[in-house]
C-alpha cells in the first residue's frame, strides 16, 4: 500500500496535478464542508507552488548573474 505523501514532500508537478483535481472537484456539486476542505487544501497547495516558483526564479536570476560575471575570455 502506497503511503500518502504530504504536500511539502511531493514534487511541484504532483502538487499542480492535485490543484487541477481540486479545481475539477469544486466544480462538481459537493457538500459545503467538503468544498471548504478542498478550498483550504487548494490555498495551501497554491502557497507551496508559488514558493517553489519563487525559489526557482531566484536560482535562475543568481545563475544568470554568475554567467554575466564571467568575462568573454573565460567562457
Query: How far is Cα 14 from Cα 49, in angstroms, rounded to an integer?
Result: 10
CATH topology of domain 12-67: Helix Hairpins (1.10.287)
Position with higher pLDDT, 64 vs 43: 43
Domain ranges in the chain are 12-67
Radius of gyration of the chain (CA): 19
Torsions phi, psi for 6 (to 5 deg): -80, 155
CB-based contact 67:48 (threshold 8 Å): no
* Confidence (pTM): 0.75
Query: How do residues 14-59 score in pLDDT, each as one tens digit?
Result: 999 999 999 999 999 789 999 999 999 999 999 999 999 999 999 9
Predicted confidence at residue 70, as pLDDT, reads 63
The backbone region for 44, taken as left when phi is positive above 0, alpha when psi lies in -120 to 50, beta otherwise, is: alpha
Amino acid at each position: 500500500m502506497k503511503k500518502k505523501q504530504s504536500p511539502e514532500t511531493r514534487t511541484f508537478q504532483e502538487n499542480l496535478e492535485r490543484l487541477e483535481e481540486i479545481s475539477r472537484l469544486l466544480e462538481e456539486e459537493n457538500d459545503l464542508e467538503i468544498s471548504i476542505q478542498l478550498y483550504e487544501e487548494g490555498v495551501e497547495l497554491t502557497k507551496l507552488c508559488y514558493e517553489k516558483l519563487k525559489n526557482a526564479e531566484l536560482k535562475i536570476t543568481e545563475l544568470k548573474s554568475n554567467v554575466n560575471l564571467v568575462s568573454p575570455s573565460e567562457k
